[in-house]
C-alpha cells in the first residue's frame, strides 16, 4: 500500500515557482491588512494562501478532465492534493518575523515592514539562485536579484503609502 505524503522539502521547478508565488501573495495580503493583532494577520495570510492552494489544485484537476476527456486517475488526484504546499510554507519565515517583531514590542506597521523585508530578502535570494551553476554571470545575477527584490520593495512602498 502506497503512503501518501505531503512534500514540504522536495525541490522542483514547480515547487520553487509555488514558493515564490506564495511569498508574493502572502506579502500582498500583509500590504492590504488592517489588523491590530499579529495573529489575525498571520491567520489572514495562511487562510488566503490555503485558498489559493486549493484553487490551484482544483483548477489542475479540472483542466486534466477537460483536456484528457476522462476522470483523472486516483494517483493524479493524490499527487495534486499532496503537492504545491510551497505556496503556503514559503511564507512561514516572513510570518515568524512578523510575530517576533510584535513580540519584541514593535508597532504593528513596523512589524509588517519587518515581515515584508523578510519576504523581499527571500525573493532576492531566489533571484540570486537563478544564476547558480554558472548559468549567469555575476552581473546578470545581480540584475536578477534586483528584479526579484523589486516585487518586495514595491509592496513595502505600497504598504507605507496606504498607511
The model's confidence at residue 8, banded by pLDDT at 50, 70 and 90, is very low
Distances (CA, A) of 53 to 29, 84, 106, 130: 15, 7, 31, 24
Q: Burial, 3: exposed, middle or buried (Cβ in 10 Å; 0-12, 13-18, 19+)? A: exposed
Which pairs with CB-CB distance under 8 Å and at least 24 residues apart come from 159-162? 159/30, 159/31, 159/109, 159/112, 159/113, 159/116, 160/113, 162/31, 162/32
Segment 70-103, tens digit of pLDDT: 888 888 888 888 889 999 999 999 999 999 999 9
Q: What are the sequence ranges of the domains in the chain?
A: 13-162
**Least-confidence region, from 15-24, 26-35, 127-136, 150-159:** 127-136
The model's confidence at residue 11, banded by pLDDT at 50, 70 and 90, is low
- pLDDT reported for residue 10: 53
Please state the pTM of the whole predicted model. Answer: 0.84
Q: What is the mean pLDDT of residues 28-37?
A: 90
Q: How wide is the angle at C-alpha 112 spanned by C-alphas 106 and 117, nearest 5°? A: 110
Query: Could you tell me which residues come within 8 angstroms of residue 138 by beta carbon, excluding any fewer than 6 positions away?
Result: 131
Cα 117 to chain center, whole Å?
14
Amino acid at each position: 500500500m502506497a503512503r501518501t505524503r505531503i512534500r514540504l522539502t522536495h525541490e522542483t521547478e514547480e515547487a520553487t515557482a509555488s514558493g515564490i508565488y506564495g511569498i508574493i501573495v502572502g506579502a500582498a495580503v500583509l500590504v492590504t491588512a488592517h489588523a491590530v493583532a499579529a495573529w489575525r494577520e498571520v491567520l489572514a495570510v495562511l487562510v488566503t494562501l490555503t485558498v489559493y492552494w486549493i484553487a490551484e489544485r482544483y483548477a489542475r484537476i479540472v483542466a486534466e478532465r477537460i483536456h484528457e476527456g476522462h476522470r483523472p486517475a486516483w494517483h493524479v488526484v493524490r499527487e495534486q492534493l499532496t503537492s504545491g504546499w510551497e505556496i503556503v510554507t514559503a511564507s512561514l519565515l516572513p510570518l515568524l518575523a512578523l510575530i517576533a517583531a510584535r513580540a519584541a514590542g514593535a508597532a504593528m506597521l513596523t512589524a509588517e515592514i519587518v515581515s515584508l523585508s523578510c519576504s523581499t530578502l527571500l525573493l532576492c535570494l531566489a533571484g540570486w539562485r537563478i544564476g547558480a551553476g554558472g548559468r549567469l554571470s555575476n552581473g546578470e545575477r545581480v540584475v536578477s536579484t534586483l528584479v526579484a527584490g523589486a516585487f518586495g520593495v514595491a509592496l513595502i512602498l505600497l504598504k507605507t503609502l496606504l498607511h
